[in-house]
Amino acid sequence: MIDIKFLRENPDVVKENIRKKFQDEKLVLVDEVIDLDAQVRKAQQEADNIRASRNKISKEIGALMAQGRKEEAEAKKAEVAANAARLAELEEQENELRQKIRKDMMTIPNIIDPSVPIGKDDSENVEITRYGEPVVPDFEIPYHTEIMERFHGIDLDAAGRVAGNGFYYLMGDIARLHSAVIAYARDFMINRGFTYCVPPFMIRSSVVDGVMSFAEMDAMMYKIEGEDLYLIGTSEHSMIGKFIDTIIPEEELPKTLTSYSPCFRKEKGAHGIEERGVYRIHQFEKQEMIVVCKPEDSPIWFDKLWQNTVDLFRSMDIPVRTIECCSGDLADLKVKSYDVEAWSPRQKKYFEVGSCSNLGDAQARRLRIRVNGKDGKYFAHTLNNTVVAPPRMLIAFLENNLQADGSVRIPEVLQPYMGGMTQIR
């Protein structure tokens, strides 16, 4: 959510930003907000005048009563009563107008960074850098669930009977590999100076509204029936929510946290749920990283965060590349975003395994996360990035470490987490 003062003073900039995101249907909201804001300011001015008049008349009533001029005092009291009724109307009107403004402001997209490439959708995202040499072996790479099934490592049929499509049972060495990757990612981030955290797996609607757009919420979140609680779609939601309604001393910044959690997603939309795969599923586990920092530091932290994911994957010998999301592929709260994609030898292409986002002060403004600096209070900047999400990570890991004899090589960094195993057979 952008600053209304900025919108009021720079409506053309806000409209041009909307056009760059190919959301022309939202252009009318800018003028609507300006009009509603003018109405609020007018109502507020009238209300302030009434309050000032009320204070003045109250003093006059006291003086008239002291002089025994009761009839004149009663007339003044009637005037105060009429003003009170009008003040109540104005306060209600002002509240309704502010709610409309907030709804519109939460729909208007954040101002994107000038460096973001302009494009309509993910087909126009831009490759930045490749890390590691993509390899296509001279033997066939089966579909990832076929590899898992060879090790009796996944049971989709039982999961389908228990919960439906989009769920799975991981078994044996594959389940152990899943946990090993999470544990290694946790320690990897701790060694980079991040504080480890296990957050709440449910959040209130006030936090949901603060961390994501309405469209994202509808497509992702599961609501707990009868309660003001949602299952988290990713732990960054509850991690950023940790700072709701707080004022952070500037000297305590940055806040750097890495979190483990299960994640729950509807996965509504064009992509849907794979019947026999684990690329898009309703439930998975993830290691996440978030940063709360000073505005001038967020570009530096953005580069550090996506580099962490690249370094993690490269430490396991998995080739990756970074992709910059174009304007039309950016969620409305994001200022700038990179995807990290891993190499798939089977598909002979890269696929997304993580996403790094700088949200500027959008989330902080919605959640009222402020910093107490030497020159006064200001809104913090927030960033998040996937360390690793094992379902997709397992796909990349198994395809890139599968050997010709059907075994799966365990990279050296993971061996301590696999009880010293060097391969899965």
Q: Where are the domains of the chain?
A: 4-105, 122-424
Instruction: Look up the pTM and report it.
Output: 0.88
pLDDT exceeds 70 at position 273: no
pLDDT, one tens digit per residue, over 52-67 is: 877 777 777 677 677 7
pLDDT exceeds 90 at position 219: no
Rounded CA gap, 41 and 4, in Å?
Answer: 13
pLDDT exceeds 90 at position 148: yes
pLDDT, one tens digit per residue, over 156-206 is: 999 999 999 889 999 999 999 999 999 999 999 999 999 999 999 999 999
Torsion 240-241-245-251 (CA) sign = negative
| Residue bearing the bigger pLDDT, 67 or 235 | 235
Q: How far is CA 210 from the centre of its chain?
A: 9
pLDDT exceeds 70 at position 269: no
Scanning 336-411, the segments in alpha helix (DSSP H) are: 362-367, 390-401
Q: How many CB atoms lie within 10 A of CB 38?
A: 12
pLDDT exceeds 60 at position 270: no
CATH topology of domain 122-424: BirA Bifunctional Protein; domain 2 (3.30.930)
What is the pLDDT at residue 54? 73
Q: Where does 4-105 sit in CATH, by number?
A: 1.10.287.40
Which residues, 6+ apart, have CB-to-CB distance to 165 below 8 Å? 273, 275
**Residues forming a β-bridge with 262:** 285
Report the side by side order of strands in the sheet with 381-388: 126-131, 320-324, 336-344, 349-358, 381-388, 283-293, 255-264, 195-197
Average per-residue pLDDT for the chain: 92
Packing angle, helices 172-190 and 390-401, rounded to 10: 110
Is residue 190 within 8 Å of residue 196, measured between CB atoms?
yes
**Residues forming a β-bridge with 285:** 262
Q: How far is CA 340 from the centre of its chain?
A: 16
Of the pLDDT bands very low, low, confident and very high (cuts 50, 70, 90), residue 227 is very high
Is residue 340 within 8 Å of residue 352, measured between CB atoms?
yes
What is the pLDDT at residue 64? 67
Of the pLDDT bands very low, low, confident and very high (cuts 50, 70, 90), residue 272 is low
Q: How far is CA 423 from the centre of its chain?
A: 37
> Closest Cα partner for 144 from 274, 315, 264, 269?
274
What is the pLDDT at residue 420? 96
Is residue 54 within 8 Å of residue 148, measured between CB atoms?
no
Q: Tell me the Cα Rg of the chain.
A: 28
